[in-house]
Structure 1
Amino acid sequence: MFSFQDKKAIITGGGSGIGKAIALALAQNGAEVHILELSAENAEKTVAEIKAAGNTAFAHSCNVAMQAETAAIFEKIGAIHVLVNNAGIAHIGKADTTPEEDFDKVMNVNVKGVYNCIRAAIPQLRKSGGGVILNMASIAALVGLADRFAYSTAKGAVKAMTMSVAKDYLTENIRCNSISPARVHTPFVDGFLEKNYADNKEEMFEKLSKSQPIGRMAKPEEIGYLALYLCSDEAAFITGLDYAIDGGFTTLNN
C-alpha cells in the first residue's frame, strides 16, 4: 500500500516545512524525489536527510516564477509520475495596504509558478502514461481571512486551476487535486513570530494555535500523509477535489 517504487516525483519548495514533509513521505515509500527550491542550501539539506535514510533524491535550484528556467529543469529530469506544487510565499495586507510590487510578487510565485510547473509537467507525465498533480492551496481560498488579500487571491486561483487541470486531462490519466491546510507549525511560523512578536512569542503562538477548533496547529507530517495518499495509486478514483486539512477551521469556527 502507498508504494511509489519505480516512480519519480517532483516537489517544489521541498527544502523546508510542508514541502519537506511531503518529500520525505514520498521518498520513504520508494519514490525517486526531485526537489525544486529557490534555496539550494535548503534543498540539499532535505536531499541529505533522504539519502541518509537510504532513499533517492536530487536537488535542483529553481525559481518557479521563471518559465524557461523551470521548463529546462523538468526536461532534464524527464518522465515523471508525480508533481507536487508546494512552493509559495506569504503576504500580509488588505487590498488598500498591499503595494503593487508585493501583489505582483505573490502572483508570480504562487500563481504563475504553479502554472509554469504544470505546463512543464504535462509532457513528462504523458511519457509515463499519466500521473498525479497535487497543488497546495489554503483555507484562505475557502474562507475570508483578515489581512491576507493577495495570498487569498493567489490560493483561490490555485484551487480554480486544480479543477481546470483535472477536467482538461481526465482522458489522459492525469489526476489533479489540491490540499487546503489551516495553520501549520513550520519554520515560517517561527520566523513570523520572531519578527513581529519578539516580546510575546509564546502568547501569540498559543493564540494562533487556538484559532483552529482542534486547539493546535497541524504538523507538517500530517499534511505529508494526506499528500502521500492523494498521490498514490490507492487514490486513483479521486480527481478535481480540494481537501481541507484544518482542525475544523472551515466547518466548526462558529
Structure 2
Amino acid sequence: MIGQVVLNSNIMSVNLGLGVVLVVQDGVAKVSGLIGVRSGELVKFKKCGVDGIVIGLLKDSVSVTILGSDREVQQGELVERLYEVVKVPVGYELLGRVVDGIGNQADNKELPIELMEKALVEVKAPGVITRQPVREPLATGILALDSIVPVGRGQRQLIIGDRQTGKTVVALDTIINQRTNQRPVICVYVAIGQKRSTVSQIAARLKQEGAAPYTIIVAATASESAALQYLAPYTATAIAE
C-alpha cells in the first residue's frame, strides 16, 4: 500500500508539486513526492487545509511539522507545495490584539491580514556593531529593580525564578508602567504553553490598566501544537522588530 502511494506521489509531483502523506506521528508527517522542496518551506495538506513546515529532507521523503492538530491529517492525503517560507503579519494594526504562534487572530476581532505587511519569521539577527547603543533606561515601575539593577532600553534581561515567584507579575508591571510615558514603548508579551484562561486574564488586566493600546499578545497555549509553541517567540520577535 505504501509502495503504491510512493509511486503515485512521484508521478504527480513532477508536474503538480504534490506529495502524499505516508505516516503521521507526534505532530510530524512523513511525506513522499515533494521533489525539490526546501527545508523551512511551507506546504498545505489539501483535504484538511492545515499548513505545515518542512523540517527534514530524506532520500525518498521529507518530514513536515504540522501547524495544527495532527488528528486532521490522514495517511494518503495530498500535500501541496506553497513555494514560500513562514511569514507573519506585522504593523500597528496588531496593537491591542491577541494573535497565535503564526500571527493569526486569536481574539474576537477581525484582523485585515491580507492588507498588512508580512515579515519573515526566521532571519539572521543583526550584529552587535549594527545595533543602536543602549543610552536610556526602561523604567519597570518597581523601585528596587530600577534603582539596583536598572534595565536599559534595547537591553536583554532575563527574569528567572521558581514557579509562582512573580516572574509574570514583573513583566506585566513593566508593560503597565510604560503608560506613564508620553510615547509608550510598544510591548509584545509572549505566552507559551500557558492555559487559555491565563492568557485571557492577562489580556483583561492589560485592558483594565490602559496598557492594551500599545501591547501585542502572542499566545501559543498548552492546547496548541508543539510547532506553534516553537514558532511563537520567533513570531513575536518578527512583530517587535
Structure with greater strand share of residues: 2
TM-score by length of 1: 0.24
Bigger radius of gyration: 2
Structure with greater helix share of residues: 1
TM-score by length of 2: 0.25
